[in-house]
Amino acid sequence: MLPPPTSEDLAIIFGFAEGKSPYVPKPRLLKDETERMDCIANCIAYYKEIGRGNEREITYAKFCARYLPAVMDRFLDAPILGLSGPFQPELYELVNTSLFIMLVTYHIPYFTKYIRSQKPVAARGKVFTQVLAERIARFGAFMDLRKELNPPDVEDEIEVFTDLLVEALVLFSIFVKFFAKYQEPIKTETRNDLSRYLIKWRQRGWDTSLQRESNRVFADLQGMSKELADYVEAGRKQLKARDKCAYPGCEIRDNLRACVKCSIVAYCSTAHQKAHWDAKDPDIPAHKPTCFETEY
């Protein structure tokens, strides 16, 4: 049985670090995005299947603290290296290792810290929602073309593509709801192109998940009701992880001071900060293992 994946394993798979990882059986495969995606998927699957919640959060926090700007750059640059398998380049610009890791780390406070950052190292991340919208719309056109050409096994191919498209829509919805105020506005032309495909996917009944996510994203683009806006604002505060004292059980929300090292949590008092730093209670996850400096 493989050991729990570490932040170093994730960095090796992405090519951000050198070394050996049990999740990379053949290092040469790291030049192939298909195999790289498989390696990342195996790491994610480990934590989904086996759990180990606190260990997972530590791994994701450490990776995000150090490598999130590089993950975003990798997505925006969309490198296509040594592709194998039945997939097309149009797929990899949308669904790739960066998208996979963002889907499981967007709730990590470092993710919100990066998105909100005004430092130059985080500047490229401001166009993520725009770029993701463009690529989802292009992928819609690509799927239509594949069905029109009707190659062998096209139905199986479309089923796989649809599952991956749903993942992209999930992340897009998260950004539109919770991070829009930190992103550049989506261009009208892009919004219209995407909306045309969302309407099509909402009306077609071949996949319930695609219908559901298309409905959700279409509603997001049309604007929010007051009830949804209140929910989203509460979600934003939760993602920032600084809306109340970070010491478990403390509900104080005023006069908080952020942790100087990581700035992703805040405390009402020095006593609570010290108690949380290296907590011994198994029901209170200590802050020390997830506290890291960042360049953003």
For every residue of 40-86, DSSP letters joined together read HHHHHHHHHHH--HHHHHHHHHHHHHHHHHHHHHHHHH----S--SS
Least-confidence region, from 44-53, 68-77, 111-120, 150-159 = 150-159
Average pLDDT over residues 259-264: 96
- On the question of pLDDT at 276 being above 90, the answer is yes
* 197 and 164, same domain (yes or no): yes
Q: How many CB atoms lie within 10 A of CB 54?
A: 13
Q: What is the band of 296 on the pLDDT scale with cuts at 50, 70, 90?
A: very high
Look at residue 113 and tell me if it is in a domain: no
For residue 196, give its domain range. 127-240
- Domain end among 72, 105, 138: 105
Same domain, 148 and 189: yes
Token pair recorded at residue 157: 């191919």
Mean pLDDT computed over every residue of the chain: 88
- Are 211 and 276 found together in one domain? no
Q: Chain centroid to CA 61: how far?
A: 13
Does the structure show a pLDDT above 70 at 222?
A: yes
Residues 98 and 202 in one domain: no
236 and 139 co-located in one domain: yes
What's residue 88's pLDDT? 66
The pLDDT of residue 192 is above 70: yes
CA distance 39 to 54: 22
Residues 197 and 227 both lie in one domain: yes
Q: Is residue 20's pLDDT more than 80?
A: yes
For residue 156, tell me if it sits in a domain.
Answer: yes
Q: Per the structure block, which two tokens stand in for 15?
A: 């090519």
Q: What's the CA gap between 19 and 37, in Å, rounded?
A: 18
Give the whole-angstrom CA distance, residue 242 versus residue 258: 8
Residue 9 lies in a domain: yes
Residue 114 lies in a domain: no
**Alpha-helix residue ranges (DSSP H) falling in 78-186:** 89-92, 97-105, 109-116, 128-149, 154-174
Are 90 and 137 part of one and the same domain? no
Same domain, 211 and 282: no
Q: What's residue 286's pLDDT?
A: 94
Say whether both 174 and 255 belong to one domain: no
Q: Quick check: is 268 in a domain?
A: yes
User: What is the model's pLDDT at position 288?
Assistant: 96
Taking 3-state DSSP, the helix, strand and coil percentages for the chain, each rounded to the nearest 5, stand at 65, 0, 35
Residues 6+ apart with CB under 8 A from 157: 86, 146, 151
Beta bridge partners of 120: none
| 49 lies in the same domain as 145 | no
Clarify whether residues 182 and 226 are in a common domain: yes
Q: Does residue 119 fall inside a structural domain?
A: no
Question: Structurally, how many domains does the chain consist of?
Answer: 3
In a domain, 118, yes or no: no
- pTM summary value: 0.89
b/e code 160-186 from CB counts within 10 Å (16+ = b): ebeebbbbbbbbbbbbbbbbeebbeeb
Contact assessment for residue 62 and residue 16, using Cβ atoms and an 8 Å cutoff: no
Boundary-marking domain end, from 105, 137, 164: 105
Work out the pLDDT band at 63, boundaries 50, 70, 90: very high
Both 7 and 101 in a single domain?
A: yes
Report the distance separating Cα 117 and Cα 182, nearest Å. Answer: 9
Lowest-confidence region among 110-124, 236-250, 256-270, 276-290: 236-250
Residue 267 has pLDDT above 60, yes or no: yes
| Of 59, 213, 23, 233, residue with least CA distance to 136 | 213
250 within a domain of the structure (yes/no) = yes
